[in-house]
Amino acid sequence: GNPLKRAAGKVADALQGDGAGPPEGIPGRPAPEPPSVAEPTGPREPLPPKPDQSGPATVSPTGQATGADRARTAQAGGRLTTAQGTRLYDTDHSLKAGPRGPVLLQDHHLREKIMHFDHERIPERVVHARGAAAHGVFRGYGTAASVTRAAFLAKDVETPVFVRFSTVLGSRGSADTVRDTRGFATKFYTSEGVFDLVGNNIPVFFIQDAIKFPDVIHAGKPHPDREIPQAQSAHDTFWDFVTLHTEATHHTLWNMSDRGIPRSYRMMEGFGVHTFRLVDADGSTTLAKFHWKPKLGVHSLVWEEAQLASGVDPDFHRRDLADAIEAGAYPQWELGIQTFPDTPEQTFEGIDLLDPTNLVPEELAPVQPVGLLTLNRNPSNYFAETEQVAFHVGHLVPGIDITDDPLLAGRLFSYLDTQITRLGGPNFPQLPINRPHAPVNDMLRDGMHQTAVHRGVAPYRPNSLDGGCPFTAGADAGAYVETPVRVPEATKVRAAPESFDDHFGQPRRFWLSMSPVEREHIIGAYTFELGKCYEQAVKERALQVLANIDPELCRGVAEGLGLPAPEPTVPLADVAPSPALSQVGRTWPVDGRVVGIVTGADGDLDGVRAVRETVLDAGMVPLVVAPTGGVLGSGEDALTVQRTYATARSVEFDAVLLAGAPAAGGDAHGARDAKGTPAAVPGTVTDPRVVLLLSEAYRHGKAIGAWAGGETALRAAGVPADAPGVVLSDNATAALRQVIDLVSAHRVWERFGTAG
């Protein structure tokens, strides 16, 4: 059968909420019969070890595996034990002097259980605290072989990976869909050691020098007095900073664009941001920027959707990623590189490649695909994997080297440093998720949480006592050898080069590259964010920044704020647009897109069934929405309800279809009333929840289809039947086909007032 169809079917099953039969012992339902024996079930088999947990062991200098089996033994045996492996007969009652008497201090199980619980939390990441991750595989195309010797990029080499996506500003428990930059960090467990590509979904950064990182983050995080607002840039300190540091203008503009509110982690680009230096087998060097290109295209939420999702489903992105992978709809990205000659100036077409607030338009330097990433396995344990994974820009492999980007320099210190606090000592590379899959033979010893049992007496080099081991390797034996880059003679200064001074040219290029609807969204975003600020001076300074990008942008925001639009203080940059930056105007695969099929209790079930099948055939996910949970119809043809009017919300769907009334007496055109108007489905039309769902889907530019009388509900929701992207048909599957075409463009852009 069609694997996508199977995948989408599994998503539908996984998403099935209200209609599902109750699992055993669910709260509020009759509990299963109490067991007649003390041990109600047989001991369960220990969980099988995960492939990555049984990954290569830390190897001692004598070549013996050490300490690597701990992960595997964490859940061995079928019976509950203490941490010391002693079996327990009861874990529900403290040891007491009589059932109503005082709890005894001698209850060592109670003390162990509570003690461990008390220490379950570790500090969250100082930035990028909220994230979701997945395992996968990366396959090299071999196309990068002319510029880098990195083994994992060679043709058909497969490398296991772990990817963590994140928001930047919010705490661990914050909502997924806030306006923010997204992290896109990939750990490649290559045969030459770990390579981490720690990127973002925005190709430029706020600042040009890492020494300002604490400042920009202090400004973006909640105010220190009341600790509000959470996971937001819409507040005075953020805007104070980014308007005083105009180098932040470009990144801020990306944040205020649709890129700040992705539809899904699966539909985001990723960027290494800095320029890296690639080294080939002969030692020749090329400068390069890394790009991740999603197979599903780059798509975003609209702002109202993002806000609604924060409340309706704060785990929107996390759930989307896990559901897709569970269903077998594996998200994929191509890794690409833009390459530039490694000249002493380190510029390309006048663009300073060491300035991380710059991007190089793809029209000037095309992104060349070098490999394919497929995410195909969800983590088994959030804490052990997603929380404890430790990325570091300094985890490099032969063939990939750094440049003198001053933002990168600070990062090379920061990541290792922060992980000492977060993961409680220097031995976090031994955690299963962080372990290289290449053999490790280091001379690092002891420290908190040391789990390797190293052998030998001479962890120093050279030595004569451990047989001189371990030995070093040359570049020919796979060692990482730094590129001998010439450092020009210079005087120590705390200063930036003049070439870092243009803060408005690149933002102007971004603005000019946007379609009208994207510009409208940007103006809306600035107006919202600045409208949340209290300081007049901050708003006025922000308008000045916008005036220096573009007068139309500035006027739009000024009008929304009720303030005068200032004149630019710099000449407007003469830059050509880069069409590749716009998200609008192309069509994309619809894999995994969600179609809500809304029906009344007495709707056209044959139509619903047919539509559901066609949605599955297209590799999309159908969710049947009905007034109550349970099943519709009976017998073999019964349809499971996945969402009720109470649990469905528009944000979950990429398109909505409204079922009409069932066909009467074989009339393919559905039932009609006395006047010949298609009959409305009782209940659907007037239910305020359906009305809300439809009006939101309409406002958010989603395709809406209705068949055989379903349109009467559209009328009630104020959706004009002749509006763009509203499909009416007598035939259910015909309506659906048109809807699928509309979804491939992501949204019905014409609905936003400005043409797309």
| Residues in contact with ligand HDE by the rule CB under 6 A | 125-128, 131, 164, 166, 183, 185, 198-200, 205, 210, 213, 273, 389-391, 407, 410-411, 414-415, 418-419
Among 690, 740, 625, 17, CA closest to 323: 17
Give the number of other Cβ atoms within 10 Å of residue 410's Cβ.
17
Q: Say if residue 318 carries a ligand binding annotation.
A: no
382 or 415: whose CB is closer to ligand HDE? Answer: 415
Burial class (CB in 10 A: 0-12, 13-18, 19+), 101: exposed
252 and 503 Cβ atoms separated by less than 8 Å: no
| 265 known ligand binder | no
Q: Is 381 among the catalytic positions? A: no
Q: Alpha-carbon distance 742 to 730, whole Å?
A: 18
Least distance CB 248 / ligand HDE (angstroms): 12
Nearer to ligand HDE, 403 or 640 (CB): 403
Q: Closest separation between CB of residue 492 and ligand HDE, Å?
A: 20
> Is residue 422 a known part of a binding site?
yes
User: According to the annotation, is 213 in a ligand binding site?
Assistant: yes
Instruction: Indicate the SS3 state at residue 116.
Output: helix
Distances (CA, A) of 526 to 144, 241, 562, 569, 713: 40, 15, 13, 20, 35
Q: Which is nearer to ligand HDE, 200 or 237 (CB)?
A: 200
Looking at 112-192, which runs of residues are DSSP E strands?
Answer: 131-140, 158-167, 182-190
Instruction: Tell me the sheet residues that pair with 612.
Output: none
What is the nearest approach in angstroms of ligand HDE to the Cβ of residue 581? 18
Count of Cβ atoms closer than 10 Å to residue 481 Cβ: 13
Task: Report the nearest approach of ligand HDE to the CB of residue 357 (Å).
Answer: 10
Q: Select which of 2, 108, 200, 449 is catalytic.
A: 200
Pick 198 or 740: Cβ nearer ligand HDE: 198
| Catalytically annotated residue among 2, 109, 116, 128 | 128
Residues linked to residue 373 through DSSP beta bridges, in sequence order:
138, 333
Cα pseudo-dihedral 477, 52, 294, 393, rounded to 10: -50
Is 200 marked active-site?
yes
How far apart are the C-alpha atoms of 617 and 733, rounded to whole Å? 12
* CA within 13 Å, CB half, 127: 20
If the CB atoms of residues 298 and 389 are measured against ligand HDE, the closer one turns out to be: 389
Compute the least distance from the CB of residue 39 to ligand HDE, in Å.
42
Helix (H, G, I), strand (E, B) or coil at 658: strand
Q: Which is nearer to ligand HDE, 93 or 449 (by Cβ)? A: 449
Question: Smallest gap, in angstroms, from Cβ of residue 77 to ligand HDE?
Answer: 33
Burial class (CB in 10 A: 0-12, 13-18, 19+), 459: middle
Report whether 411 belongs to an annotated binding site: yes
CA atoms within 13 A on the CB side of 430: 29
Residue 182 marked in a binding site:
no
- Residue number of the CB atom closest to ligand HDE: 183
Where in the sequence numbering do the catalytic residues fall?
128, 200
Q: Which residues line the annotated binding site? A: 125, 164, 213, 411, 415, 422
Q: Which residues line the annotated binding site for heme? A: 125, 164, 213, 411, 415, 422
